[in-house]
């Protein structure tokens, strides 16, 4: 049995090469950029006024108030204005080009236009370059404006539109399949016998993938039969990543690892010192990755976040796809049997002096109902058997932490 840290090390050392594709920039939100994008022009492309007011020479208004001749107008989209001469002012709007000869702009609040519109009084002096955004001050031609590995959002889409990038290279999302196993499972829309339960894990895993903006193919429920498992797994291996839930423990009918061997998969680990989720399996065949997650619902949910998310996120191009972690103050004494790193359900909230961690009661790793009240897990170190109220503990925030309400 290996530690959580050792398991993560094995996972990250067995990642296949990431794939790249070109897509329309309009479809890029949420994707990870796979190239550096450089400015194709200066932004702003001219000396730009930052305010509504009058373009002037700063030396003309050192002894303000002074009256200057009004020599024209510069507005956004109205063309490049004529040259400004000493003793003149040109009315200018926010975002408009500063005329040649002007070295500053006085805001309109410090100006008074004459009744006949021929002159303007500048009521206060200005500094050279005041209220002017110089050409190229935001980005010069050839400057990298978005780095490879950058996650693309609304602001990045605006940048791409600014520089005319109609298509961009992004990391391709891996294709994923989910397979549930077990004679005891029926689908959610079927009525189970007394010895059966409805399949929930596959749908939980699919929703966890959806939080990562990944859609999975669902391969259904495979019975505890090697031939059926083999056929379903072969279908799953047509994708980049196959996630199997159930059938990975040591029982007589836990057949998943046997079929892995038959299909020529290399099993890289099969037991992890994690609670819940000890019988987690990771295997590969060439570039294909396979996760065998436990059948208990909380075990499947937790091991997905600890092991599957870091792999899929990196294949999507993310640098640090793990769920955020932080520290909080434990609000109750807690016990556990040492030997495995435990991820315990908790409600985390903020008070004046920091984050507070309220442990939640749960009956077993099958008790998914209790887990619906959690917005995080707190991590119980494997070498400890007791944590006291008031101790600082490490937290792993669940994907919906910032929207979940109590």
Mean pLDDT of 21-35: 96
Could you tell me if 76 and 96 are in contact, meaning their C-beta atoms sit under 8 angstroms apart? yes
pLDDT digit string, tens, across residues 304-361: 999 999 999 999 999 999 999 999 999 999 999 999 999 999 999 999 889 999 999 8
Structure token pair of residue 210? 């959806």
Cis peptide before 332 (omega within 30 of 0): no
Look over the chain and give the mean of its residue pLDDT values, rounded to a whole number.
94
Its sign, for the CA torsion 23, 25, 27, 32, is positive
| Average pLDDT, integer, range 186-207 | 91
Torsions phi, psi for 50 (to 5 deg): -90, -5
pLDDT at 250: 58
Q: Which is it for the CA torsion 6, 9, 11, 14, positive or negative?
A: negative
Element (H, E) at 91: strand 88-92
- Return the pLDDT at 268: 96
Count of positions (residues) in the chain: 406
Residues of the chain above pLDDT 70, percent: 99
3-state helix/strand/coil string of 231-293: HHHHHHCCCCEEEEECCCCCCCCCCHHHHHHHCCCEEEECCECEECCCCCEEEEECCEEEEEE
- pTM value > 0.85: yes
| Rounded alpha-carbon distances, angstroms, from residue 395 to 277, 331, 334, 370, 378 | 18, 13, 15, 18, 4
DSSP state letters, 359-403: E----STT-HHHHTT-SEEEEE-TT-SEE-TT-EEEEEE-TTTTT
Within 13 Å of residue 93, how many CA atoms lie on the same side as its CB? 10
- Mean pLDDT confidence for 127-131: 96
Give the sign of the dihedral formed by CA 97, CA 98, CA 99, CA 100. negative
The predicted structure's pLDDT at residue 370: 87
| CA–CA dist 255, 257 (Å, integer) | 6
Q: Given a cut of 50, is residue 261 above it in pLDDT?
A: yes
Q: Other C-beta atoms within 10 Å of 216: how many?
A: 21
pLDDT reported for residue 224: 87
Phi and psi of 155, rounded to 5°?
-65, -40
Strand, helix or coil at 151? strand
pLDDT tens-digit readout, 207-257: 999 999 999 999 999 988 899 999 999 999 999 999 999 877 655 546 888
Q: What is the pLDDT of residue 217?
A: 97
Q: What's residue 253's pLDDT?
A: 45
Q: What is the mean pLDDT of residues 26-37?
A: 96
Cα torsion through 251, 254, 257, 259, rounded to 10: 140
Instruction: Tell me the sheet residues that pair with 9.
Output: none
Are the C-beta atoms of residues 318 and 151 closer than 8 Å to each other? yes
Give the whole-angstrom CA distance, residue 249 versus residue 252: 9
Dist. CA 330–CA 346, nearest whole Å: 10
| pLDDT at res. 168 | 97
Rounded CA separation 271/340 (Å): 11
Q: What share of the chain is helix, strand, coil (3-state, %, to 5)?
A: 20, 35, 50
The C-alpha atoms of residue 300 and residue 208 are separated, in whole angstroms, by 11
Q: How high is the pLDDT of residue 361?
A: 87
Closest by CA position to 336, among listed 381, 371, 386: 386
Whose tokens are 């590995």? That residue is 149
Tell which wins on pLDDT, 313 or 258: 313
Identify the structural domains of the chain with CATH numbers, from first to last. Answer: 4-17+173-315 (3.40.980.10), 20-43+138-171 (3.90.105.10), 48-133 (2.170.190.11), 325-397 (2.40.340.10)
């Amino acid at each position: 049995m290996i530690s959580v840290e050792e398991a993560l090390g094995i996972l990250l050392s067995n990642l296949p090469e990431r794939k790249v594709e070109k897509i329309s920039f309009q479809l890029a939100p949420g994707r990870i950029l796979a190239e550096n994008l450089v400015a194709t022009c200066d932004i702003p492309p001219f000396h730009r006024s930052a305010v509504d007011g009058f373009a002037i020479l700063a030396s003309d208004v050192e002894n303000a108030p002074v009256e200057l001749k009004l020599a024209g107008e510069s507005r956004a989209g109205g063309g490049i204005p004529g040259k400004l001469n000493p003793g003149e002012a040109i009315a200018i709007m926010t975002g408009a080009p500063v005329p040649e000869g002007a070295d500053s702009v006085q805001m309109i609040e410090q100006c008074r236009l004459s009744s006949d519109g021929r002159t303007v009084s500048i009521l206060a002096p200005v500094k050279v370059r005041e209220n002017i955004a110089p050409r190229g001050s935001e980005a010069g031609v050839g400057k990298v404006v978005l780095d490879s590995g950058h996650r693309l959002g609304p602001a990045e889409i605006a940048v791409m539109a600014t520089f005319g990038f109609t298509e961009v290279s992004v990391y391709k999302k891996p294709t994923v399949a989910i397979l549930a196993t077990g004679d005891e499972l029926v689908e959610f829309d079927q009525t189970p016998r007394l010895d059966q339960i409805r399949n929930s894990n596959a749908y939980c895993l699919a929703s966890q993938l959806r939080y990562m903006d990944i859609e999975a193919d669902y391969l259904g429920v495979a019975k505890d039969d090697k031939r059926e498992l083999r056929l379903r797994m072969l279908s799953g291996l047509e994708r980049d990543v196959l996630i199997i839930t159930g059938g990975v423990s040591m029982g007589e009918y836990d057949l998943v690892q046997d079929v892995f061997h038959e299909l020529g998969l290399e099993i890289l680990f099969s037991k992890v010192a994690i609670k819940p989720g000890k019988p987690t399996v990771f295997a590969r065949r060439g570039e294909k990755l396979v996760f065998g997650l436990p059948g208990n619902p909380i075990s499947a949910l937790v091991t997905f976040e600890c092991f599957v998310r870091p792999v899929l996120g990196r294949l999507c191009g993310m640098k640090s796809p793990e769920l955020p972690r932080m520290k909080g103050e434990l609000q109750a004494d807690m016990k556990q049997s040492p030997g495995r790193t435990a991820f315990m359900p908790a409600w985390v909230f903020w008070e004046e002096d920091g984050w507070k961690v309220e442990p939640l009661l749960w009956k077993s790793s099958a008790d998914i109902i209790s887990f619906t009240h959690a917005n995080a897990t707190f991590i119980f170190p494997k070498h400890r058997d007791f944590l006291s109220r008031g101790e600082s503990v490490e937290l792993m925030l669940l994907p919906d932490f910032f929207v979940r309400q109590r």
